[in-house]
């Protein structure tokens, strides 16, 4: 821990105003305020299935002293959950019993943020549950600034589905926004207890991770691209299955998924397989074989077959395809319909 | 007799920990969390009260173990509290039992330690019981003992490595903020310290660093 690091000093200087303002706030520094927001509300947000559901919970500052966390925990899962089925703006008391439930729909983020700030000026702690996390407002100021969008309209515009031409942007977003979230990436790996017990390293994938990867990616694509993404489409002659397949304007696209790294066996006591670059090279060959069969046997109008590689190796290195020397000459003509997506890096930086 | 008094004082500390944990919504605790909370509280005490004698010093001789800081005396106290139903066990979780005692308030330095436990547990509760492990395993004083395979007890006195790190953090703020740093109290520095450690942990940057 090098506290002499000039970066740390500069960061403190940059944020001096914010640090000193927050240090003075009796609300933000109330011992129960941080526990409420971090350990109860953020966890509640994290466990919600649909994070695009925007809502606000607000509570009088004077209730902070009397917060009863046991009751809060229980009411979040019952009363609050039920009330949110019909309302998106709830005033609660120290036990998180609902005092007032209303609906507020804002035309844009600016209007929503303005309203939440003004509410917090009336002596309330305001917690906004947005697509990215929980933001708090106290005495007219934002305590945290996690969310970019505060209105459904803005979120909808953001999630407006693109067409297949946006596939590379969507995969970039999958890497940068989805796979970096702990609650997303941790699902690919075995739990912390098993990691500690067996000592195979943090990046130990679950048993047979390929199906999970396929479904996870397919769901992400389906949310962001307007076409229908099918899984396990069987090829006529060889009966082999395409991982993910879609059609757009009469043209076929498919995604072959491979992964690098190690996965645990079914009994969860040993590593079952440990894939390195050779696995990616097999993927190239396999994808080209699929293109060949789709074009030659099934007469499909293939626009592109993509190789998608999840790289879960502890140490990420550039994948060596050895100039595709493993590809038979008869398959090389299909290279014009083939593409390799930038690897999707999976790292279990904070096992849970 | 002295040993009995010591166990009574530790009993008081353990019950304080459970009572405060109840306030933050942790109705039960793993046994191992009790050791870790008392360890963290004892190793950080001198930062908050540099001119006072550390009230934990006379009762706790923590050593490194495979499960974290360990002292036989907490083990004895826990057994004692379970037998007398001050605590109950449910699976691997412990919680307050039906027996309560007001006499613990009269134990020496009880209130002083209770207040300090309150400060520490309210900060830990921001992160959750499951994160206490992350903090203890990366605690500089604990790590030093672990790395040197020391069989000596862990230093919880003023000047231990954790204390020194906190002092450095405080000096960094004072250097950066100048006189304005006077507006920050030691409790705030503790919060920043935990915040710093946990943000590093979340970014996976503190695995091998001391």
Which helix H or strand E contains A203, and what residues bound it?
A: none
**Helices B31-48 and B72-83 sit at what angle, rounded to 10 degrees?**
120
- Position B91 in a domain: yes
Per-residue pLDDT reduced to its tens digit, B31-53: 999 999 999 999 999 888 888 89
Domain that holds residue B169: 2-202
Instruction: Report d(CA A275, CA A142) in Å as an integer.
Output: 47
A13, B127: Cβ pair inside 8 Å?
A: no
Q: Name the nearest CA neighbour of A45 among A185, A222, A215, A183.
A: A183
Reported as a pLDDT band with limits 50, 70 and 90, residue A90 is: very high
Residues from chain B that touch A39, judged by Cβ atoms under 8 A, are 24-25, 125-128
Residues of A in contact with B204 (CB under 8 A): 347, 349-350
| Residue, of B197 and A54, whose pLDDT is higher | A54
Residue B209 falls inside a structural domain: no
User: Which residues of chain B make contact with A20, given a CB cutoff of 8 A?
Assistant: 177, 180, 183-184
pLDDT tier for residue B1 given thresholds of 50, 70 and 90: low
What's the pLDDT band for B10 if we cut at 50, 70, 90? very high
Which residues contact residue A167 at a Cβ distance below 8 angstroms, ignoring those fewer than 6 apart?
A: A221, A225, A253, A306
Number of domains in chain B: 1
The verdict on residue B173 lying in a domain is yes
Nearest CA in chain A to B124: A35
Second-level CATH architecture of A6-156: 3-Layer(aba) Sandwich (3.40)
Interface probe, candidates A17, A19, A40, chain B, greatest B C-beta count within 10 A: A19
What is the rounded CA–CA span in Å between residue A217 and residue A171? 9
Domain residue ranges of chain A, discontinuous segments joined by +: 6-156, 161-345
* Residue A257 or A152, more confident: A257
Let me know if A71 is exposed, middle or buried by CB neighbors in 10 A (0-12, 13-18, 19+): middle
Q: Examine residue B208 and state whether it is found in any structural domain, yes or no.
A: no
A323 torsion bin: left (phi>0), alpha (psi -120 to 50), beta (else): left
Q: With 0-12 CB in 10 A as exposed, 13-18 as middle and 19+ as buried, what is B128?
A: middle
Contact partners, residue A232, CB within 8 Å, separation at least 6: A241, A242, A243
Q: Find which of B126, B143, B166, B208 to mutate to test the A interface (most A CBs within 10 Å of its CB).
A: B126
The string of pLDDT tens digits covering residues A60-70 is 999 999 999 99
- According to DSSP, the residues that pair with B90 across neighbouring strands are B93
Percent with pLDDT over 90 in chain A: 64
Q: Is residue B124 part of a domain?
A: yes
Mean per-residue pLDDT over chain A, rounded: 90
The alpha carbon torsion through A204, A206, A207, A209 (nearest 10 deg) reads: -110
> Which runs of E-coded beta strand occur in chain B?
29-30, 87-90, 93-96
Q: What percent of chain A has pLDDT over 70?
A: 97
The secondary structure of residue A294, as a DSSP letter, is I
Q: Is B48 exposed, middle or buried (0-12, 13-18, 19+ CB in 10 A)?
A: middle
């Amino acid at each position: 821990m090098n506290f002499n690091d000039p970066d740390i000093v500069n960061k403190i200087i940059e944020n001096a105003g914010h640090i000193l303002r927050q240090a003075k706030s009796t609300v933000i520094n109330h011992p129960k305020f941080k526990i409420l927001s971090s350990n109860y509300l953020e966890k509640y947000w994290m466990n919600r299935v649909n994070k695009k559901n925007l809502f606000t919970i607000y509570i009088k500052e004077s209730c902070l002293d009397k917060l009863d966390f046991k009751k809060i925990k229980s009411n979040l899962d019952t009363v609050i959950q039920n009330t949110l089925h019909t309302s998106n703006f709830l005033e609660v008391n120290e036990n998180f019993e609902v005092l007032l439930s209303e609906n507020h729909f804002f035309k844009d983020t600016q209007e929503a943020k303005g309203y939440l700030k003004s509410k917090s000026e009336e002596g309330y702690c305001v917690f906004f549950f947005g697509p990215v996390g929980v933001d708090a407002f106290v005495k007219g100021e934002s305590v945290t600034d996690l969310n970019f969008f505060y209105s459904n309209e803005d979120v909808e515009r953001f999630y407006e589905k693109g067409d297949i031409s946006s596939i590379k942007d969507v995969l970039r977003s999958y890497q940068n926004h989805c796979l970096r979230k702990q609650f997303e990436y941790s699902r690919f790996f075995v739990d912390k207890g098993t990691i500690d017990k067996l000592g195979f390293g943090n990046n130990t994938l679950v048993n047979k991770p390929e199906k999970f990867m396929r479904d996870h990616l397919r769901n992400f694509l389906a949310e962001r691209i307007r076409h229908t993404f099918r899984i396990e489409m069987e090829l006529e002659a060889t009966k082999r299955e395409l991982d993910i397949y879609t059609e757009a304007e009469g043209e076929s696209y498919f995604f072959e998924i491979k992964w690098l790294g190690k996965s645990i066996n079914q009994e969860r006591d040993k590593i079952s397989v440990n894939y390195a670059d050779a696995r990616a090279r097999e993927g190239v060959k396999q994808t080209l074989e699929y293109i060949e069969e789709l074009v030659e046997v099934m007469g499909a109008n293939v626009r592109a077959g993509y190789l998608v590689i999840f790289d879960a190796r502890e140490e990420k290195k550039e994948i060596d395809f050895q100039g595709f020397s493993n590809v038979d000459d008869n398959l090389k003509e299909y290279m014009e319909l083939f593409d390799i997506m930038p690897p999707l890096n999976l790292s279990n930086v904070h096992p849970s | 007799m002295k040993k009995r008094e010591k166990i009574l004082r530790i009993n008081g500390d353990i019950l304080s920990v459970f009572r405060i944990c109840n306030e933050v919504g942790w109705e039960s605790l793993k046994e191992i969390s009790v050791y870790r909370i008392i360890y963290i509280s004892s190793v950080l005490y001198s930062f908050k009260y540099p001119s006072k004698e550390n009230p934990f010093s006379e009762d706790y001789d923590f050593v490194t173990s495979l499960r974290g800081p360990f002292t036989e005396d907490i083990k004895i106290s826990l057994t004692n509290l379970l037998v007398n139903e001050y605590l109950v066990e449910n699976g691997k979780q412990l919680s307050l039992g039906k027996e309560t005692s007001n006499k613990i308030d009269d134990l020496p330095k009880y209130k002083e330690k209770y207040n300090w436990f309150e400060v520490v547990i309210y900060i830990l509760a921001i992160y959750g019981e499951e994160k206490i492990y992350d903090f203890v395993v990366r605690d500089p004083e604990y790590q030093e003992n672990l790395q040197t395979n020391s069989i000596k007890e862990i230093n919880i006195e003023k000047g231990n490595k954790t204390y020194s790190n906190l002092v450095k953090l405080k000096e960094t703020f004072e250097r950066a903020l100048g006189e304005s740093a006077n507006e920050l109290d030691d409790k705030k520095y503790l919060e920043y310290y935990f915040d710093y450690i946990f943000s590093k942990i979340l970014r996976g940057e503190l695995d091998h660093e001391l």
